[in-house]
Every structure is written in C-alpha cells, then in structure tokens.
Amino acid sequence: MKRALPFAAALLILPLAACGGGSGGDAAKAAGSKGPIKIWYANNPEEIAWAKQMVQSWNSAHKDQKVTAQEIPAGKSSEEVIGAAITAGNAPCLVFNTSPAAVSQFQKQGGLVPLDNFPGAAEHIEKRSGDLAQQYKSDDGKYYQLPWKSNPVMISYNKKMFEKAGLDPEKPELSTYDDFLAASKKLTGKGGAKAAIWPAPSSEFFQSWFDFYPLFAAETGGKQLLEDGKAQFTGPEGQRVADFWKSMYSKGYAQKEKYNGDSFADEKAAMTIAGPWAAKVYGEKIDYGVVPVPTSKGTPAADTKTFSDAKSVGMFSSCKNQGTAWEVMKFATSRDQDGKLLETTGQMPVRDGLTGTYADFFEKNPQYKAYADAAAHTVEVPNVPESIKVWQTFRDAYSRSVIFGKSDPESELKKAAAEAEKLAGQK
C-alpha cells in the first residue's frame, strides 16, 4: 500500500524548490539568448529514434548551441512530471510531448513561454498547421504550444474476426450507429469475441478522448467539448453519442471491466479506437482495416471529424537560452524533420497539406493514407482554464450514466455541463 508520505513529500518539496530555485530574468533578454539547452521527449522506441537523429542533426551544425536530450522522467503521467519540474524550476527548455489538455494548467503556473515573443513564431505555426492552428491558441490569444503531431483516432478492426462473424472484412458496414451495433452483435455472438470494442472503462480524465469524444467530434461536424465557455455535449448530438455508447455497454458489446493488456492485440476485442501508431504496433501481428468513427446517419470518410490525440512542443519559462530553444523548435518542425517523424513513428505532423507534401511516403505506405486524410479534420481538446478538471467532471458523469447505467445520461451530462462551464470560466 502506498502511504501518504510520498504525497506529503511532494507537497513539501515543490514549494521548497519554488523558494530555492531561480530562473528567467528578463523575458526579452532570454528570448534572444543563445547557448546550450535541454529537451525531453517521449519514451516510446519510435519517438526516441526520431529525437536522437534530430538532436544529432542539430548538434552537428550548432556546436555552440548543443542540445542535450533525454526521455521524460518516469512518473504516473508526463503531465505530472512536467508540472513538478515547472514548480521546481528545473523543467527543460522544450518538451516534445506536451499534452494540449495540460497547457492551460502549465500556463497558469507561469511555466510556459508564449511563443509569440519570438518574431515570426505565430506565422511559422499558422503556415505549418493551417486552420488547425487556431485550436491551439490560449484564451489570451497567444500560442503557448507549437502543435507538433497528431494521432487522429479511427476504428481499427480485425479482419479475421470480422470474417468469422460473417461480416465483410474488406468493406464492413460500420458507418452508422445501427450498422455498428448490428456488427457488434454478430461479433460477440457468432464471432465469439469477448467484446466488439473495448475502450478503457476506467475513470481517468483522459479516457473520454478514446470513446465519447471522437464520436462527438464526428457527430457534431467538429465541435469541441466546450466552445466560447459553453458546454456543447448536452445538445442532441452529444445525447445521441451517449445513447450509442450506453447501448454498447448495456448489450454487452463493450465491457465494463478494464482489460489488463491490449484487448485488440490479444484478439479479445474485434475493434479498437486508435491512431496511426497502431500500424507499427499491430501491423505485423494482426491483419486489420481502418474506417472512420461512426455517426448516427453515416458520414462520408472525407468529411468525418475525429479527435486529434495530438501532442505539442512547449517551451518552459526556466529556459535560459530561449533564442536557441525557438530555433530548435523551428528546426524540429521543419519540412525535413516532419518527414522523418512521419517515416520513423508513423504519426502525423500537424502540417497543412500532409498527403501532398509527403506524397512518396503515402504511396509507399498506403496504410497511413486514411490517417493522413483524417489528420486534416481533427478536433482538439478545448484550450480552457481548468481543462483537466473539466474532463474529470465529464468522465465521472459519463462513467456513472453511460458505462454503469446508474442514471440518465441526459440529466447527468447536464449537471456536468453546468460544472464544466463554471470551471472553464475561472481564471
């Protein structure tokens, strides 16, 4: 059993570190300052490989501005580690795995540098990411993150399990809720699957990004959970999505118990909601196909919105050589490095005109084409104050009413909406 000691120690250490640390100085001076910097990146093998080559490439051309890179230190989540590092004043200059949902909290902590401080930064972001960039602006109109890569989530399905259930493995009918429910019935019946699809039914705040939110984005044609401070999920579209998932759980097509492992890889579930990373993870083990997430009436693939599951690059205020940090940010999100990211990780750079820019890659790797098309239609989490509290509030209500069916989703989500609006209105 874990005692309260580590938590108490964290409460102790963070403010002590806050008192003892020292950084920053004049913002303008820091923005122009050049020299060595530190960066953190994610710890999956593909991103490690990309980061190592990027750093090597930068360092070979900038001996006086050496980048020292390491994986994000272990913790329950990257956000927790980064939050503690901000408070302690020992955050690196750049983190290539900053969750957009955590940006408002890091911003409130004074941990992030507004990138608008650098000449041409907003132009670089908007030119690279096109209209999608607007979703990453904070409520003061500034960019505290550079939208880096997305993992537009889609429905991956196991062709062998579909065939066994008597479903067309090449062009399965999964575009409407009715189609999806009918296919799920066959998969769990004749197909013998333990679940048609098995999203994690646990209570973590981010789990709704992989069940409710992609379908909500698709059903609404691209609405965020909150827009202009108003909750969007209590409308008829949100209700339809909630009802759909409630049916999936009540009919036993989705399991209420968390699977210990990867239900899709273990062929316990015939479908999963995943991004392009799936190609590298499942590609050699499972013969699978990809379709957009369903909507109530069925939406053409080209018009179907989905959740981005994106990660940004954040620059942290403890960085002394911010001038170099900004140059590294630009370098790491250049056309060349974005191409290498695509090749190494299969994840989509948040770049306008992806399929045209890297036409050769998509020709050689057609399995990524659907994701690239979806990448242009992604919806981000709303960049609002108290974002994580908002998501936890939503998750609790969803869990209670949709997964466990203990209350009516309509009234439960309305209560969550009132609370979410109150939270998002806080400064």
Partner 1 sequence: MSSPARGATSPGRLRSLGRNLLGLGFVSPYLAFVAVVFAYPFGFAVWMSFHDYFFTAPNVVVEHPFVGFENYVTVLTDPDVRRSFVNILVFLVINVPLTVFASMVLATALNAKLPMRSFFRAAYYVPYITASVAVVGVWLWLFSSGGLVNQLLGDLAPEPSWLVNETLAMPLIAVFVAWKQLGFFIMLYLAALQNVPKELYESADVDGASTVRKFLSVTVPGVRPATTLVLIVATITGANLFTEPYLLTGGGGPDGSSASPVLLMYQRGIEQGSPDVAAAIGVLLVLFVLVVSLINRKLTERG
Could you give phi then psi for residue 158, rounded to 5 degrees? -85, 115
Comparison of 247 and 357: residue with beta carbon closer to partner 1:
247
Amino acid at residue number 132:
L
DSSP letter at 176 equals B
Comparison of 133 and 403: residue with beta carbon closer to partner 1:
403
> Tokens 């999963």 correspond to what residue?
272
User: What dihedral angle (degrees, nearest 10) is formed by the CA atoms of 129, 32, 60, 70?
Assistant: -70
Which residue stretches of 75-207 are H helix?
78-88, 100-108, 121-129, 159-164, 177-188
Q: How far is the CB of 213 from partner 1 (least distance, A)?
A: 18
> Tokens 């370098």 correspond to what residue?
331
Q: How far is the CB of 284 from partner 1 (least distance, A)?
A: 26
CA gyration radius, the chain: 22
Comparison of 198 and 358: residue with beta carbon closer to partner 1:
198
Determine what percent of the chain falls in helix, strand and coil, rounding each to the nearest 5. Answer: 50, 15, 35
* Interacting residues toward partner 1 by CB under 8 A: 1-5, 7-12, 14-15, 17-25, 77, 79-80, 83, 86-89, 91, 105, 108-111, 194, 200-205, 255-258, 260, 317-318, 386, 388-389, 392, 396, 399-400, 403-404, 406
Q: How far is the CB of 220 from partner 1 (least distance, A)?
A: 26
Give Dmax over CA atoms of the chain in angstroms. Answer: 68
Comparison of 88 and 370: residue with beta carbon closer to partner 1:
88
Q: What whole-number distance in Å separates Cα of residue 382 and Cα of residue 220? A: 15
Comparison of 110 and 119: residue with beta carbon closer to partner 1:
110
Q: How far is the CB of 5 from partner 1 (least distance, A)?
A: 7
Q: Are 412 and 400 within 8 A, CB to CB?
A: yes
Which secondary-structure segment (H or E) carries 327? helix 322-332
Comparison of 76 and 171: residue with beta carbon closer to partner 1:
76
Q: How far is the CB of 207 from partner 1 (least distance, A)?
A: 9
Q: How far is the CB of 262 from partner 1 (least distance, A)?
A: 14
Comparison of 188 and 347: residue with beta carbon closer to partner 1:
188
Q: Are 233 and 225 within 8 A, CB to CB?
A: yes
Q: What whole-number distance in Å separates Cα of residue 387 and Cα of residue 101? A: 6
Q: What whole-number distance in Å separates Cα of residue 43 and Cα of residue 22? A: 28
Amino acid at residue number 202:
S
Q: What whole-number distance in Å separates Cα of residue 184 and Cα of residue 245? A: 12
Q: How far is the CB of 81 from partner 1 (least distance, A)?
A: 10
Q: How far is the CB of 406 from partner 1 (least distance, A)?
A: 6
Q: What whole-number distance in Å separates Cα of residue 265 and Cα of residue 307? A: 22
> Tokens 């936890």 correspond to what residue?
392
Q: How far is the CB of 24 from partner 1 (least distance, A)?
A: 4
Q: How far is the CB of 245 from partner 1 (least distance, A)?
A: 15
Q: What whole-number distance in Å separates Cα of residue 416 and Cα of residue 409? A: 10
Q: What whole-number distance in Å separates Cα of residue 73 and Cα of residue 394? A: 29
